[in-house]
Amino acid sequence: MPEPFKNLFNPALISAMSDHLQKAAPTFDRATFIRTACDGLDELEMKERATHIQAALNKLLPADFRAACKVMLASLSPKTDEDWKAEDIETLGICGWAIMPMAEIVAARGLDDFDYAMGVLAEMTKRFTSEFAVRPFLIADPERGVEIARKWAEDDNYNVRRFASEGTRPRLPWGLRLQSFVQDPQPLLPLLTQLRDDPSEYVRRSVANSLNDIAKDHPDLIAEIAADWLKEAPKNRVRLVKHACRTLIKAGHAPTLAALGYGLAEVDVSPITLAAPVVNMGGHLEFSATVTSKAKTTQPLIIDYVIHHRKANGGTTPKTFKWKVMELGTGKSATLSKRHAIKPITTRVYYAGQHAVEVQINGQSYAEAKFELIV
């Protein structure tokens, strides 16, 4: 079994933090910090551990906000990339996951010293990320926050440039939702455009994720952006746009598919062949189908499959999975096969009974077969 993610916050990390904080401020009470931060840590989950460590540290830092920040900044590692190793915090200074509780202190204390606090978060993010801690600032003053993020987008450090897009994501997982940008993402678009051709894949991936967030509430806007950004686009931007549109592609959003060059598929699809009509929990659903082109020219196809999972009330809910992206010539056929694992996962509860598998091409349904799941 892999180590639980929450164990990234552990006594060794707390001890290493205390060493560097004491070097930065000789009066820092190292022993009390270790004792308080470690007390009850084992019972807590990931974010709870970060908050627990933050609370222990907050009590021991100077009461003055800027003085507290100076101690934290002086304790940081000089290394400013995302490839941190566990031993880096022990030998160099605070970096990696240990930044999270420190950034939370800035978020909790710094709203009345907005510009200075934002600068501290940018410095911290060079050693990890402050994407969660910046969100209270963007909620308090979205316009001012985006103006600062536009400056971050010009920074020499790619972690800071990524911070500009990742920190402003409307629906960042684990983070506070930025409701003003959920409702109106227009203030973010100049920032994302500024970063769309960044030399770092790390940054471009963040831009794609932000656009994917926006797509959940403004699909037609993302279709327009995709069509615009793809004009004479370099290869990296094409990849960014496709990743940004992944949710809309799976949903079969016609304007997005059209922007990406995928029209209504002219195909025949054979009935889906199941290896077995009954699947046991922990086993595999095996199926295949043949797609034959009816078009007069070669056509691009995005072929997905959809599993309709049975719910507790007897209804079903669909989940779309990628299958094949291809070009199919006139009169040509392609037979596709899939072996899909049906196994327990934390994000889904399986219920016994009838399920279905569906073939979806360029966002449209073409074939469906039912199967029985035994739990």
Neighbouring C-beta atoms of residue 54, cutoff 10 Å? 21
Q: What is the largest CA-CA distance in the chain?
A: 79
At 45 the three-state DSSP class reads: coil
H helices of 230-318, in order, are 235-244, 246-251, 254-259
Domain that holds residue 354: 267-374
> Among 133, 166, 186, where does a domain finish?
133
Q: Quick check: 352 and 374 in contact, CB under 8 A?
A: yes
Per-residue pLDDT of 297-306, as tens digits, reads 999 999 999 9
pLDDT band (50, 70, 90) for residue 89: confident
**124: CB partners within 8 A, 6+ apart:** 72, 73, 76, 99, 102, 103, 106, 130, 133
**Strand boundaries in the chain, DSSP class E:** 267-269, 273-274, 278-280, 284-293, 299-310, 316-328, 333-341, 353-361, 364-374
Would the CA dihedral through 305, 251, 171, 43 be positive or negative?
negative
- DSSP-assigned beta bridge partners for residue 290: 335
Q: Greater confidence, 83 or 310?
A: 310
Neighbouring C-beta atoms of residue 26, cutoff 10 Å? 7
CA angle 367, 323, 216 (to 5 degrees): 90
* 157 phi, psi to nearest 5 deg: -85, 125
- How far is 249 from 7, CA to CA, in rounded Å? 36
pLDDT of residue 293 exceeding 80 = yes
Q: What's the residue count for the chain? A: 375
The whole-number pLDDT of residue 86 equals 66
Q: Is residue 281 part of a domain?
A: yes
**What is the mean predicted confidence (pLDDT) over 302-312?**
96
β-pair type (364-374, 278-280) = parallel
pTM of structure? 0.86
**What is the mean predicted confidence (pLDDT) over 19-36?**
97
> Among 133, 150, 179, where does a domain finish?
133
Residue listed under structure tokens 């929450």: 6
Number of domains comprising the chain: 2
* Structure tokens that stand for 145 in this block: 């926050």
Q: Is residue 152 part of a domain?
A: no
**What is the mean predicted confidence (pLDDT) over 292-299?**
96
Q: Is residue 237 part of a domain?
A: no
Q: Mean pLDDT in the chain?
A: 95
CATH of the domain at 296: 2.60.40.10
Q: Is residue 148 part of a domain?
A: no
Q: Quick check: 179 and 142 in contact, CB under 8 A?
A: no
Per-residue pLDDT of 330-366, as tens digits, reads 999 999 999 999 998 888 899 999 999 999 999 899 9
Burial code (b: 16+ CB inside 10 Å, e: under 16) for 218-251 equals bbebbbebbeebeeebeeebeebbbbbbbbbbbb
**What is the mean predicted confidence (pLDDT) over 26-53?**
95
- How far is 274 from 283, CA to CA, in rounded Å? 14
**What is the mean predicted confidence (pLDDT) over 255-276?**
95
Q: Is residue 176 part of a domain?
A: no
**What is the mean predicted confidence (pLDDT) over 248-270?**
93
> Among 133, 154, 178, where does a domain finish?
133
Q: Is residue 154 part of a domain?
A: no
pLDDT of residue 1 exceeding 70 = no
Q: What percent of the chain has pLDDT over 90?
A: 90
Per-residue pLDDT of 218-230, as tens digits, reads 999 999 999 999 9
- How far is 278 from 241, CA to CA, in rounded Å? 39
The whole-number pLDDT of residue 3 equals 73
- DSSP-assigned beta bridge partners for residue 367: 359
* 118 phi, psi to nearest 5 deg: -65, -35
Q: Is residue 253 part of a domain?
A: no
pLDDT band (50, 70, 90) for residue 313: very high
Secondary structure (DSSP) of 194-252: HHTT-S-HHHHHHHHHHHHHHHTT-HHHHHHHHHHHTTT--HHHHHHHHHHTHHHHHHT
Q: Quick check: 333 and 238 in contact, CB under 8 A?
A: no
Per-residue pLDDT of 123-177, as tens digits, reads 999 999 999 999 999 999 999 999 999 999 999 999 999 999 999 999 999 899 9
- How far is 74 from 21, CA to CA, in rounded Å? 8
pLDDT of residue 85 exceeding 80 = no
Q: Is residue 86 part of a domain?
A: yes
> How far, in whole angstroms, is CA 293 from its chain's centroid?
36
